Each structure stands twice: as structure tokens, then as C-alpha cells.
Amino acid sequence: MGIMEKMRLDGKKIFVTGGARGIGMNIARGVAEAGADVAIVDVDIDEAAKTAQQISADTGRRVIPLRADVTKPQEVDEMIAAVLEQFDRIDAAFCNAGICINAPAEEMTFEQWKRVIDINLTGVFLTAQAAGKVMIRQGGGSIINTASMSAHIVNVPQPQCAYNASKAGVIQLTKSLAVEWAMKGVRVNSISPGYIGTDLVMNSPTLVPLIDKWKEMTPVRRLGRPEELQAIAVYLAGDTSQFTTGADFVIDGAFTCI
């Protein structure tokens, strides 16, 4: 069997939180194209349903929409139960749901701080914990958390201390879970994208004026394309990454190198 065949995800059962749009949607599409059945998990069930229908039509895979708020333990547990009901097992879990609030630190409200931490860090823990319990019972699985290059550097000119802190926490959480579960067959890794030209970014009145600055600061002088995260997602979800755990993959056009 050649390497391309080994990279296939045929028969794998995977869920992606925050999967209705942006990076999550592209990860879901990538793993479906590689042969996996996928659950698109999002708070916006209507958009999740549209995304699931489109990916299924394009790939021929079984793709289902599920609603869950990752900050609420009961909803996370119900989502996991629904995935198991539909798929019988969970081979890979992409803990991707996240938000960013730009606000100067001296003006940021407690509610803003708490919302970012609750979704980006606590939500990742709750989702990874719930998926991890299933994978330990199964005898193995792969958890992939979406961190950010913002865990490694401080973004400018936008003020986003809560986001940066939350993503740094995701990386350390990833490492901690990887060590705890290493002998239980559960691999845990993170992906740290740089500036990615998702529809949200390219159509945001507040972010569009920053794009030229971001390009100037990025050595490759462009934003990343969402589909450029698919290959690492497929690798981490599959069997060729069995020795890869506790790692953070920075995909940022060399932004964090300077």
C-alpha cells in the first residue's frame, strides 16, 4: 500500500465543532474528501445543515449536522451521544469552535473576557474530555484542537489579549492531555493557523482594513487559504500519525519566525 492509500480516512468517523463555516468547514470538507463520515457541530444548526448537505453532495460521504454549545457540559455530552448513535464510534475529534473579541485590555469587560475564555479554552477542554472518554473506551483515537499563532506572538495592531491567552491555554492543554492519555491510545495535537482568508475575515468591515498590514508582516506576503489547513487535518486524523502527539503545528506563512 502506497503512502496516498495509507493517508485515506475511509471508514473513519469524525466530528468538527464550529464546523458550519470558515476553518471548521474546510477541515470537515478535507476529511470527508479523504473518505471519512463527518458530524458538523455548530450553534447555528441551520448553517450546519447547509454545510453538511453541500459536503455530502460533493463527496458522497455521510455528513450530518448537530447543534451544541461547547461551553455547556450537558450539550457537549448530548452531542457526543448523538455522534455515537449515528456513527457508533469516534475516531477523530476536531475541537475547533472559537471566537475573537478585539478590545483594549483596559476597556475589556469581564463578560467579554469570560466569553472568549469559555468558548476558546473551556469549550475545547469540555469537548476533548468528552471525546477522550469515548476514545479511551474504544482503545484509541485522535483529538485535534484549533489553537492559533496568537498563542506564540502578540498580534498587532488589533488588541486581543483574551484571544491570545485562550489560544496559549489550548496549546498547553493539548500537551497535558497528550501526556495523560499517551498510554491509553489517544493522541492529542493542535493546529495553529496564522492569518487565514476565511469568508468571515474577507467580509468583515473591521478586519478588511487590517489585511494589507497583515500581509506586509507575513514573510510570504499573503493570507493563508482555508484549504491549506486540510492536509495537516487529514494527517492528524489518520493512522499515519500514530507517533505524533503533544505537537502544535504552526501554519502561518512564517509569521512567527520574525
41, 18 Cβ separation under 8 angstroms: yes
3-state helix, strand, coil in the chain (%, to 5): 50, 15, 35
- The pTM of this model reads 0.97
Question: How many CB atoms lie under 10 A from the CB of residue 243?
Answer: 6
The yes-or-no verdict on residue 134 having pLDDT over 90 is yes
pLDDT tens digits, 179-225: 999 999 999 999 999 999 999 899 999 899 999 999 999 999 999 99
Q: Locate cell 493570507: which residue?
A: 223
What value does the mean pLDDT take over residues 147-163? 97
The catalytic residues are 148, 163, 167
Sequence spans of domains, the chain: 3-257
Instruction: Give the separation between CA 178 and CA 184, rounded to whole angstroms.
Output: 10
- Answer yes or no: CATH 3.40.50.720 is held by domain 3-257: yes
pLDDT of residue 229: 98
Lookup: cell for 222:
499573503
For the chain, what is the mean pLDDT?
A: 97
What value does the mean pLDDT take over residues 167-178? 98
> pLDDT above 70 covers what percent of the chain?
100
pLDDT of residue 1: 83
pLDDT of residue 167: 98
pLDDT tens digits, 55-107: 999 999 999 999 999 999 999 999 999 999 999 999 999 999 999 999 999 99
